[in-house]
């Protein structure tokens, strides 16, 4: 079986395309089932910065075609239109990429903590959908281990920058100081929570939370001594706030240019700062054309982010070494898939011969005491193990050098093996 990755990220696609290719939580299970087909495996990782489809199939070209078709359908575009923004990786390269993603080395902000939870979430969804088989289990469990190792063995995550902290820093640059400023938060999820924490830590005075679910808005607002309401109250609040942070999970704009224009007339020229950290975006981009309005989306935060992570380059080098080590381990494991069934079949055949010969000699062994019988069993088992030790080691070495298939086929031919001789065709994790 081969591993194929097809995806895009902030390195290759602007936010306008990324939001079209975004896979929502309700869409994810059915998507991975379609990708996996009857005998394959699939995991879909989709965040504000990336959408990546990991597919396991006997035919890598079929897996790639299936992934391309799903991404095109998501975006409502032709495959030729999205192809320049996509990357395709296979087997070891795909594993290396996922390990770098889990280690936050491929993030807009190296060292950010959220990506590891997002990788775990994608894996859990695939398990629940029944599309995570032996290879996907091994790949994603190892990716999660890589992420944990990087955070515990390097300082890349110390004082981590994040999208929310970068947004707060940018707001502070615009206003000079956030002391006494008032903020409107659209959405009541984790990103909204983090953004609010960062803004309050810089002196913001009051918080108003608007969300489709008023109960969730009230829970978040209570944490900060603020007020809450539904999204229908947003336009009225725009007349008084200084900063708007948007991070809902909605598809389509939550705040229109027309709403902002009406609010700006009441503000009498006072500027307002918008940070849209949602993908898909929550705020109509036309807001940026309105006088007195300053709108920034996730891509606009890249410069702020780059400055904030300059001091982590050395830690990133150490993290890359961990990723390379783990990728080599995955490569060795995947190559062993070619030889493990042959090794298991060889040992099963040898054990079958040993036990059948002992049964044939039962008449001559019947007079042995229990301890003598155990000694004969042990002696014959040791002979089998010693005879098979060298072939087993040589096949594993050949697998590491990518010659495993040749050796496995030779062993099957020489010993007239059938994989049915083994009850376990897949290696244990």
CATH number at residue 247: 3.40.50.720
Looking at the fold, whether 154 and 180 belong to one and the same domain comes out as no
pLDDT at 398: 67
379 lies in a domain?
yes
Domain membership flag for residue 203: yes
Residue 142, in any domain of the structure: yes
Q: Which of 278, 274, 298 is nearest to 288 (CA)?
A: 274
Instruction: Please answer whether residues 13 and 21 qualify as being in contact, where contact means their C-beta atoms are separated by less than 8 angstroms.
Output: yes
pLDDT at residue 286 in the model? 95
| 147/52 same-domain check | yes
Predicted local distance difference test score (pLDDT) of residue 355: 85
The whole-number pLDDT of residue 426 equals 43
Two tokens at 224?
A: 């900060």
Which residue, of 159, 189, 206, is where some domain finishes? Answer: 159
What is the number of other CB atoms lying within 10 angstroms of the CB of residue 119? 25
Please check whether residues 168 and 151 belong to one and the same domain: no
Q: Are residues 143 and 26 in the same domain?
A: yes
Classify residue 241: in a domain, yes or no: yes
- Is residue 202 included in any domain, yes or no? yes
Give the span between the Cα atoms of 46 and 29, in whole angstroms.
12
Query: What integer pLDDT is reported at residue 252 of this predicted model?
Result: 87
Please indicate, yes or no, whether residues 369 and 291 belong to a single structural domain of this protein.
Answer: no
Name, in order, each residue with C-beta under 8 angstroms of 367's C-beta and a sequence gap of 6 or more: none
How much is the pTM? 0.61
Cite the DSSP H helix spans in 130-240.
134-153, 163-175, 190-201, 214-223, 234-237
- pLDDT below 70 — which residues of the chain? 158-162, 303-312, 336-340, 396-405, 407-408, 418-429
Residues 112 and 194 in one domain: no
What is the distance between the alpha carbons of residues 232 and 5, in angstroms, rounded to a whole number? 41
151 and 23 share one domain: yes
Here the CATH number for the domain that contains residue 33 is 3.30.460.30
Between CA 44 and CA 105 the distance in angstroms is 19
In whole angstroms, give the CA distance from residue 131 to residue 32.
7
Are residues 73 and 53 both part of a single domain?
Answer: yes
Q: How many domains does the chain have?
A: 3
Q: What is the sign, positive or negative, of the torsion defined by CA atoms of 154, 156, 158, 162?
A: negative
**Domain membership of residue 111 as a residue range:** 2-159
Residues 174 and 144 reside in one and the same domain: no
- Separation of alpha carbons 196 and 182, rounded Å: 11
pLDDT the model gives residue 423: 44
Do 237 and 115 lie in a common domain? no
One domain, residues 182 and 213:
yes
Residue 235 sits at the vertex; the CA angle it makes with 229 and 237, to the nearest 5 degrees, is 60
- Residue 328 confidence (pLDDT): 85
Catalytic residue among 6, 48, 238, 304: 48
Last residue of a domain, one of 308, 326, 354: 308
Give, in degrees to the nearest 5, the angle at Cα 318 between 313 and 320.
Answer: 90
* Residue 137 sits in the same domain as residue 204: no
Q: Which residue has the tokens 């070891």?
A: 92
Q: Where are the alpha helices (DSSP H) in 76-133?
A: 79-82, 91-102, 114-129
Q: Is there a catalytic annotation at residue 293?
A: no
In a domain, 294, yes or no: yes
Residue 97 lies in a domain: yes
Confidence (pLDDT) at 161: 63
Residue with tokens 């990782």: 45
In a domain? residue 315: no
Look at residues 110, 138, 159 and tell me which one is the last residue of a structural domain.
Answer: 159
Rounded distance between C-alpha atoms, residue 179 and residue 186, angstroms: 21
């Amino acid at each position: 079986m081969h591993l194929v990755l097809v995806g895009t990220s902030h390195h290759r696609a602007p936010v306008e395309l990324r939001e079209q290719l975004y896979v929502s939580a309700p869409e994810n299970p059915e998507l991975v089932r379609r990708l996996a087909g009857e005998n394959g495996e699939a995991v879909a990782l989709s965040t504000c910065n990336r959408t990546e489809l990991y597919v396991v199939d006997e035919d890598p070209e079929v897996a790639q075609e299936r992934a391309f078709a799903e991404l095109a359908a998501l975006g409502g575009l032709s495959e030729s239109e999205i192809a320049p923004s996509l990357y395709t990786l296979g087997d070891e390269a795909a594993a290396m990429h996922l390990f770098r993603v889990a280690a936050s080395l491929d993030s807009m902000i190296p060292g950010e903590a959220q990506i590891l939870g997002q990788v775990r979430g994608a894996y859990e969804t695939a398990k629940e959908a029944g599309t995570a088989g032996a290879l996907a289990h091994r790949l994603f469990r190892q990716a999660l281990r890589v992420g944990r190792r990087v955070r515990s063995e390097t300082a890349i995550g110390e004082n981590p920058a994040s999208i929310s902290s970068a947004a707060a820093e940018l707001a502070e640059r615009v206003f000079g100081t956030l002391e006494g400023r008032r903020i409107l938060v659209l959405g009541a999820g984790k990103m909204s929570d983090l953004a609010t924490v960062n803004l309050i830590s810089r002196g913001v005075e009051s918080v108003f939370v608007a969300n489709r679910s008023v109960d969730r808005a009230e829970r978040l607002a209570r944490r900060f001594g603020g007020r809450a309401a539904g999204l229908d109250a947003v336009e009225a609040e725009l007349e008084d706030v200084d900063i708007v942070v948007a991070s809902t999970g909605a598809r389509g704009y939550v705040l229109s240019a027309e709403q902002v224009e009406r609010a700006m007339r009441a503000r009498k020229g006072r500027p307002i700062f918008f940070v849209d950290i949602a993908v898909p975006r929550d705020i109509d981009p036309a807001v940026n054309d309105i006088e007195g309005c300053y709108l920034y989306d996730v891509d606009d935060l890249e410069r702020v982010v780059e400055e904030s992570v300059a001091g982590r380059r050395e830690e990133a080098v150490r993290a890359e070494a961990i990723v390379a080590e783990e990728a080599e381990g995955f490569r060795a494991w995947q190559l062993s898939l070619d030889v493990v069934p042959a090794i298991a079949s060889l040992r099963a055949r040898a054990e079958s011969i040993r036990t059948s010969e002992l049964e044939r000699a039962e008449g001559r062994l019947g007079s042995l005491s229990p301890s003598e019988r155990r000694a004969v069993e042990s002696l014959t088992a040791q002979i089998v193990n010693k005879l098979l030790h060298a072939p087993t080691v040589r096949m594993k070495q050949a697998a590491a050098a990518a010659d495993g298939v040749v050796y496995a086929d030779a062993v099957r031919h020489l010993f007239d093996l059938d994989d049915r001789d083994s009850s376990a065709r897949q290696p244990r994790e």
